[in-house]
Amino acid sequence: MTNSSLPRTSTYTQRVEFGDCDPAGIVWFPHFFRWIDAASRHFFISCGVPSWQETTTTLGVIGTPLVDTQAQFTKTATYGDVLVITTSITEWRNKSFVQDHRIHRGEDAIMSCQEVRIFAGVKKDSPSSIYAMPIAPSIRSLCE
């Protein structure tokens, strides 16, 4: 028996700060997306993928912008809380992938999120135009 059916996971720990909370005293939801974006990048780092600074030069990959996201908010969090984000890639497509994030505070499920992201290249003649590159085998093999 192998672990071939289990995707790699990474964990990312985030303290909640006073300034992350709104007048209701709870985390203002856009901050969850800030942390998930960081967890997304750390997944690749934990797999040994070079930084986007490096892949910009070597592969033309400037990062993994978001195409589509779904999120469910289950419990609130407040400052002083420590959140753990567990991240994995649950599906590989030709030019995109699905990344799953689960945020917990101890046993409590706080939020979950399913993202479709691409590996983006930049059009030479239009630096603010990005496009989905075919997924580089050298990156995918590190992440599976």
Q: Interface with its own copies by CB under 8 A: which residues? A: 15, 17-19, 21-26, 28-31, 33-34, 37-38, 41, 51-53, 62-63, 65-73, 76, 78-80, 120, 122, 127-130
Q: Between 41 and 102, whose beta carbon lies closer to its own copies?
A: 41
Q: Between 34 and 93, whose beta carbon lies closer to its own copies?
A: 34
Please enumerate in sequence order all residues whose Cβ is within 8 A of that of 66, keeping only pairs 6 or more positions apart, or say none.
Answer: 37, 115, 116, 117
Asked about 100 being catalytic, the answer comes back as no
In contact, 52 and 61? CB cutoff 8 Å: yes
- How far, in Å, CA of 64 to CA of 24, rounded? 33
The one-letter amino acid at 117: R
Catalytic one among 20, 22, 37, 100?
A: 22
Nearest approach, Cβ of residue 42 and its own copies (Å): 9
Burial of 60 (0-12, 13-18, 19+ CB in 10 A): middle
Nearest approach, Cβ of residue 68 and its own copies (Å): 5
